[in-house]
Amino acid sequence: MKRKWSLLIIAALISGCAGNRKIGRAPASLKEAFKNDFLIGTALSAGQIGERDAGARVLVPQQFNAITPENVMKCEAIHPQWNRYDYKLADEYVNYGSRRQMFIVGHTLIWHSQLPGFVHRIKSPDSLRLFMQQHIHTIASRYAGRVNSWDVVNEALNEDGTLRRSVFFEKLGPSYIAEAFKLAAEAAPGTLLYYNDYNIEQPAKRRGAIELIRKIQASGARIDGVGIQGHWHLGQVPFRDLEQSIADFSALGIKVAITELDINVLPRPKNMSGAEVSQKFASDPEMNPYPNGLPAALEEQLAKDYEQLFKILVKYKQQISRVTFWGVHDGQSWLNNWPIPGRTNYPLLFDRQGRPKPAYYRVLAVGEK
């Protein structure tokens, strides 16, 4: 069945692309369509890294030339106890990308979320600083020369642009961010170093991100780029703010990446803010209106949103290093269970069977022009 499914996916791609390309040309892919513009990436789950997802086994090497791990390099997975590291899945991930000669992203070294319990029990600033030093040095040096880019610090800002009062901020103060970049540069000198966050295309948070990047640079630390996550909503993608953000960030002498792209098609709960993972809301049938498929009108809106987005990204291709989708296909998307569990979402370019959606062809057409 797995082999049959893989063959069906390939047939669907070839058939669909034939309708969008001249007869006789080789089937297109995202990575081919944008090969002169920027890298095209996807996030991989543990099952996909282990090649247990038949659809992803075909789609990932065919469509993408960059990968990011969803969870296997986050602190709770790779460093579960003070003196114990678990490299099994992270090694599998790096080996997966190396075998396919892909651009490999490490995600993430310092983040306030998905920390093992022992980090929250650390009492003194000196002990927390020692943890941070050992954590960054041990992991970044292990993969030096194999991981091409690290999200060094993830989501350190509030929506108003001020610094989040995380466990790192509370005990180490704001200087922990520049220190993390210095440590990463020492451990992996040839690796690109990025700051990554959601909603930093929004004016207030963008100002905070610009101030943060300038302080990192002023400290003497190296920062190579900024990741705009790109968790947006159907019909509400902030195109104008995104263009301004690309211009403002690149003016700092760094590259811009879209690092976690998806477009949520489902209703948002009231009082929901940004992409903070700690937000949880109760299940409600009214908040899951499309369990059996996305209506054609919304499918068309999704295609339009993606098409317009990629037109902007190609316009600024000199400033953009990479565009990474947060998932390979709809069935994998975190948006099926966040912020409400058990929903059916349709935020990506491939459906639950790994088949290309109308949005895929619209994006492909942008790259082929």
- HSE at residue 161, side-chain half, CA atoms within 13 A, is 13
Report how far residue 358's alpha carbon sits from residue 243's, in angstroms, rounded to the nearest whole number.
Answer: 25
DSSP state string for 30-65: HHHHTTTT-EEEEEE-HHHHTT--HHHHHHHHHH-S
Catalytic, 155? Answer: yes
Q: What three-state secondary structure class fits 106?
A: strand
Residue 104's contacts (CB-CB under 8 Å, 6 or more residues apart) are 66, 67, 93, 94, 97, 98, 146, 147, 148, 149
171's enclosing H/E stretch is: helix 167-172
Residue 145: Cβ-neighbour burial (10 angstroms; 0-12, 13-18, 19+) = exposed
Name the catalytic one among 70, 155, 179, 201: 155
Phi-psi sector, 31: left (phi>0), alpha (psi -120 to 50), beta: alpha
Report how far residue 232's alpha carbon sits from residue 274's, in angstroms, rounded to the nearest whole number.
Answer: 9
Report how far residue 140's alpha carbon sits from residue 81's, in angstroms, rounded to the nearest whole number.
Answer: 17
Catalytic, 260? Answer: yes
Name the catalytic one among 70, 179, 201, 260: 260
CB atoms within 10 A of CB 86: 14
Return the ∠ at Cα 187 (arms to 185 and 189), rounded to 5°. Answer: 50
Residues taking part in catalysis: 155, 260
